[in-house]
Structure 1
Amino acid sequence: MDLFGRMTIIRLENGDLLIHDPCKITDAIRQQIDDIGPVKYIVAPGSYHHLFVMDFQAKYPQAETFLCPGLERKRPDIPFDWILGNKPDPRWANEIDQVVVSGTKYMWEVAFFHKPSKTLILVDLLENIGDDYRHHANWVLRFWWKFVFRMWNKPKPAPEYQMGWGNKQIVQTALHKILGWQAERVIIAHGETIEEGVNDILSEAWKKVLKA
């Protein structure tokens, strides 16, 4: 199944760019990026969001690479400078907060919160696939999301999370931190951006683990 994906570019106050969850880079995409500013940081934010990191490294060799914990073992071929943690890098700490969500043995991610725009950025902790996404959804994806995962028009975590969380207390602490950010918008890798009722939607999506 091809879920498609969304890359997010954060332009810091000094003009530097943080590339979150790199996508396949083309000449046209590179030109658009270069028109915005210089790429200084490449971030692989999740256990399954790393496929195009090395492509970006080749195009922007001066950029520093940050990996989600565990990717350094899963993808030892990817050169990196830093492993992401619960404490944001000092160079973006005034603008971005972050927290590691150690969801399962196989799937972790680092949630980011852009303070000036009150925007939460996630990859697999929330997927929002439904009628508004139908032009990107082939019949296979529609079948699985409607009849197997029961996620069509229902924002939920990726199925890998729903099959079982790891240390629930640690996960709950991370999710409560995210809710405490009081985000007004959520940009996600798979599905439509959420522009209203953010905490209500997140609380509903994560209710099983929050109440565990």
Structure 2
Amino acid sequence: MLVNNELSNIYPIPEIKKAIKAAGSPALLHTDAVQGYLKMPIGVSSLGADLITLSAHKIHGPKGCGALYVKGGANTIHPCIFGGGQENNLRSGTENTPAIAGFGQAVKTAEAGLEQRMIKLKELKEYTTSLLTGNGCGAVINSPGENSAPHILNISMPGLKSEVVLNDLDANDIYVSSGSACSSRKKTTSHVLAAAGFTKQEADSSIRISFGDFNEKKDCERLAECLKKCRGTLFSV
């Protein structure tokens, strides 16, 4: 994983690849770069991974379409699905051509504005952080200050269950989450935050805020104001 989808940590993939080589291991390094793709610079050579997974929906492309970069070509890995030999004999079955075309167009659009997007997302994240730490809402910042992706901010609201805060924000047309979309239906404490050393109380009050191309500073201000009201009106548990 290149970017942690809950906390926003950027992991040292090149260093991991170097460690694999230094150990003399024949293991291939597969990196899930879905969260970081076109939110930050990603170079195939500099990253060093043997396989890189990407997804269209994270860059406003169609859902259900992804891409797999394979260093050295298709002969590096073996297929799990056999049949007609589509996708260089790696994944047989009729391709979803409209989704693939949509993914390609989304990449072109996102690549054209990458530098401006990175600046904007970073500014929105920093602005939100300053608002939440200075308006009395009681938010605690969980995302790291360094080596952190610009579009994800994880906070805790001590004393308040995250689902209660989420429902209140939802009523105000503000949509955030209490974890990753992969585990949105799970009722257990986030294993990511637990592994990072956060207490159960901190994890159970955590909220993940994501920033995108269509967000503006006024959205950050609305979020901060609503969280401040949450602190004053919701019962602590």
Specify which structure has the higher proportion of strand.
Answer: 1
Specify which structure has the higher proportion of helix.
Answer: 2
TM-score bracket for this pair, using the shorter chain length? 0.3 to 0.5
Determine which structure has more spread, i.e. the larger CA radius of gyration: 2
